[in-house]
Amino acid sequence: MHLYKTRRRRGVILTPKGLKKLQTVKSAAEIQENSGNRYTLEALNERTGLSVDTLVKMFACEVGVDKQSLKTAFQAFSLILEQSDYYFPELQQQDRVLNTNLLVAETEPEIPEGQVPLNSKFYVERPPIEANCYKAILQPGALIRIKASRRMGKTSLMSRILQSATNDGCRAVFLSFQLADKAIFQDLNKLLRWFCASISLGLQVQNQLTDYWDELFGSKISSKIYFEQYLLVKTTSPIILALDDIDRLFQYPDLADDFFGLLRSWHEEAKNRDIWKKLRLVVAHATELYIPLNADKSPFNVGLPVELQSLNREQVQALGDCYGLNCSEQALEQIFTLVGGQPYLVRLAFYYSWQHSVTLEQLLSTALSSHGIYREHLQQQWWNLQQNPELVDAFTQVIKASKPVELNLEQGFKLQSMGLVHLYGNQAIPSCQLYAKYFCDAFGHAPQANRLRNVDLLTYNS
């Protein structure tokens, strides 16, 4: 009984896995809820209800704390404390075995989905893009515009720009336009009020729209006043606004003309007024602009343009090395022939090759079967196409043709945003053999009906 009580007093210590889990979600909360600033011990005390002394011991991982304290800390960040997240320090032999297993586990790749985590070694840089962005965002009134089709790494790059900027003392707010209700896009006043309120929330300042919004001046001037006299004056640090999925506005031409014109005017203000030099913009979109905008009012012809392309062979090889696959030249050639270096499709192949301990060649040989690794992704692309019958007709033309097909501008850009085609001007070819072969079957065309020349795709993606 005495030994049991002694162990209870010693408590438990976070394992490397548990500490990493807690620190990762804490860092994410600091970026999203605290403008990228680290939480002080006092702030963590308020959030968790744990004493500063307990918090220090918990993060130091040298002295045991009560297990309930760990549960409380995890719950404060919407986490569940699992058995693998802590250990009893007196069980030294088991502790050594556990730590060895955890060090191995920490090298395991994450499931390829969405943004690549900031601390992941499986993020592949595409020099000199990252370095150029990290430098550009520190310039007064900076504007970076990132364009790429879906799942090419826009959000992953954007998050790294924000991290780099916050490390240099900037405050950052990430806002995806996918979060806005459809009703927001029916009226400019609603859109700008939502926009300003969302930025206030991201900066963790009180929403004071009622004090600065003046119907006499209208919503564009009111939003400018709100930034100029409230948001920007409340901080001495630059504010980075990262706006993702802004191409959702392309569906509303009149609204887009006003909103994008406003962003351009704010960017121009930084050339003349110090208050606006503190505002930096990063915008990301998946498709080319297919609505008319006045050149003097468009934010898409100023700032630093960044277009993310498919991975080249060296980058694919480097990614394969991260998975420990040591891909042969034959395997690299096979994956390029099939998916053309598209980051998500490449990562998916590498992940399953690592997970199931099969060669890349074996995995890709069944990629188009009903149980292949791309089954869910291809079904999702098929469903997306079916939401717009005009796109089905347009893509049918592309995969049936033996040469590039001239498409309607809007249709071409939308297919490009889905990653289904490469565009040369307004002429399109399938972006990779995977889509060409799958949709030939889906559309009921015999494979020989598609005379796509492999050399065209390989040359484009090399």
Spatial CA neighbour of 334 closest among 367, 293, 291, 378: 367
Q: What is the tens place of the pLDDT at every residue in 266-284?
A: 999 999 999 999 999 999 9
In the predicted model, residues of the chain with pLDDT beneath 50 are 1-9, 92-105, 447-462
Predicted confidence at residue 90, as pLDDT, reads 57
**Average pLDDT over all residues of the chain:** 87
What is the architecture, at CATH level 2, of domain 2-105? Orthogonal Bundle (1.10)
In DSSP notation, 25-72 reads: HHHHHHHHHSTTPPPPHHHHHHHH---HHHHHHHHHTSS-B-HHHHHH
Could you identify the residue written with the tokens 């700032």? Answer: 303
Spatial CA neighbour of 205 closest among 189, 184, 229: 229
Domain range annotation of the chain = 2-105, 129-307, 313-373, 376-461
Q: Please tell me whether the overall predicted TM-score, pTM, comes out greater than 0.85 for this model.
A: no
- Specify the DSSP class assigned to residue 227: I
Q: Is the CATH number of domain 129-307 3.40.50.10860? A: no
